[in-house]
Amino acid sequence: MSDHLEDLAEAVRGVLSSRRPVDATAPAGLDTALWKELEQLGFTSLALPEELGGGGGTVRDAAVLVREAASACAAVPVAEAAFVAAPMLAAAGARPPNGPLTAAPGDLYAEPVHGGTWRITGSLSRVPWLRSAGHVVTPVTTPDGPAVAVVPVGHRLLRLVEGTDLAGEQRDGAVLEGVETDQVFPLPAGTWRRDAELYGAAARALQMAGAARGVLEATLRHVGERVQFGRPLVRFQAVQHQLAALAADVVTVEVSADAAILALLRTGYDRELMVASAKAEASALARSVAAVGHQLHGAIGFTMEHRLGAYTRRLWSWRDEYGNELYWHRRIAELVADRGGDVWGLVADADRRPEGAQVHVGD
């Protein structure tokens, strides 16, 4: 990691240091105090251009923030802000709203009504901390093409359907029955819904890398301290081999997530494969990472009083969001089929446009 990214990670860790989980209890809701602190320090708009009031950072900078927040199990939608909202807001030249914002691709339609006002109808599902956020940033379809909408969550025609995920975090649906706002910004032609999905998947892969590392660190500590049959667990070969398998899985999730971010940064043709692989590996390996973590912790790790569950519950939630492994495996097979079965061309020349490949247009 470069010095700049290391410094950034250090700064984010500083803000998050009081938030590290002590047990597996679900957060009470969105941590608005933390959001405010991150917002004041410019972290929540890190990846937006400076002219929009952002930090002018890259997706790599945003990745540092998201991973650190996930390692701390922080209850703030920074992944949504930095990875899903920021690219659309930047492309539309729109400033982010103040206060907590979340983001998600949904199925929404916006039509202009009068004097710059738009009326939005449609639905959103399982949006992180929707009920606690001031706004939700989402791609919408308009009669003139794609746009991004900054929807006020408190609007009377937005009906919330509250829910929680496996980690106990808020995941709310919403039905929009003609929400009126002037915050709809046209986007240049592009695959925005697909991109929001891609960036969301990359963000979840990063978060899972952070949580998986949390499992590894907690497990390493536990097997070093816990004594059975007169010796620490780590002295048993059966335990050592489980640890090695755990570390291999964690490192795989981390490297795949890193590679996905680098591909997004380069905006090459390989970004779809790299993100697909990152999310598929993270989702597929969540099972074994959590399984080894729990197995080596024994019963204590299965209790609410131990923080292992804070990581594993998030892994189990995040593996299904923005596409589980089967979803992305199928997407990868599509990429292979587009190249006429040339797996190697896809993997080794992925940043080059395949000859005669289908280019996906529209959403």
Partner 1 sequence: MTLRITAVDAPPGALHELRLEVREFLRREIAAGGFEPEADAWMSGVDPAFSRRLAGRGWVGMTVPARYGGHGRSALERYVVTEELLVAGAPVAAHWIADRQMAPGILRNGSEEQKHRYLPGIVRAEQFMAIGMSEPDSGSDLASVRTRAVEVDGGWRLTGTKVWTSVAHIATAIVVLARTDEGGDRHSGLSQFIVDLPHPAVTISPIITIDGAHHFNEVVFDDAVVPQSALLGRRGDGWRQVTAELGNERSGPERFLSALPLLLAWTRTGAFADDPLARADLGRLVSRLTALRQLSLAVAERLSAGENPAVEAALVKDLGTAFEGEMVDVVRRHVDPASGAVPEQLAAMLAKAVLHVPAFTLRGGTNEVLRSIVAKGLTGR
Q: CA-CA distance, 110 to 126, in Å (whole number)?
A: 20
Q: Is the dihedral of CA 37, 38, 39, 40 positive or negative?
A: positive
- Helical packing angle, 3-16 and 32-40, nearest 10°: 140
Give me the DSSP letters along 10-34.
Answer: HHHHHHHGGG--SSSPPPSS--HHH
Nearer to partner 1, 45 or 277 (CB): 277
Nearer to partner 1, 157 or 244 (CB): 244
Nearer to partner 1, 68 or 281 (CB): 281
Contacts with partner 1 by CB under 8 A lie at 1, 220, 223-224, 234-235, 237, 240-241, 243-245, 247-248, 251-252, 254-256, 258-259, 262, 266, 268, 270, 273-274, 276-278, 280-281, 284, 325-326, 328-337, 340-344, 346-352
Cβ-proximal residues to 201 (8 Å cutoff; 6+ apart), any chain: 275, 276, 278, 279, 322, 323, 328
Supply the minimum distance, in Å, between the C-beta of residue 7 and partner 1.
16
CA–CA distances in Å: residue 269 to residues 45, 212, 246: 26, 28, 32
Contact 193, 204 (CB under 8 A): no
For the chain, the first-to-last Cα distance in angstroms comes to 35
Supply the minimum distance, in Å, between the C-beta of residue 17 and partner 1.
18
Nearest to 149 by CA among 172, 126, 176, 120: 120
Nearer to partner 1, 198 or 273 (CB): 273
CA–CA distances in Å: residue 219 to residues 24, 50, 143, 166: 15, 42, 54, 21
Nearer to partner 1, 23 or 225 (CB): 225
Supply the minimum distance, in Å, between the C-beta of residue 308 and partner 1.
17
Supply the minimum distance, in Å, between the C-beta of residue 152 and partner 1.
39
Supply the minimum distance, in Å, between the C-beta of residue 331 and partner 1.
7
Nearer to partner 1, 253 or 310 (CB): 253
Supply the minimum distance, in Å, between the C-beta of residue 70 and partner 1.
16
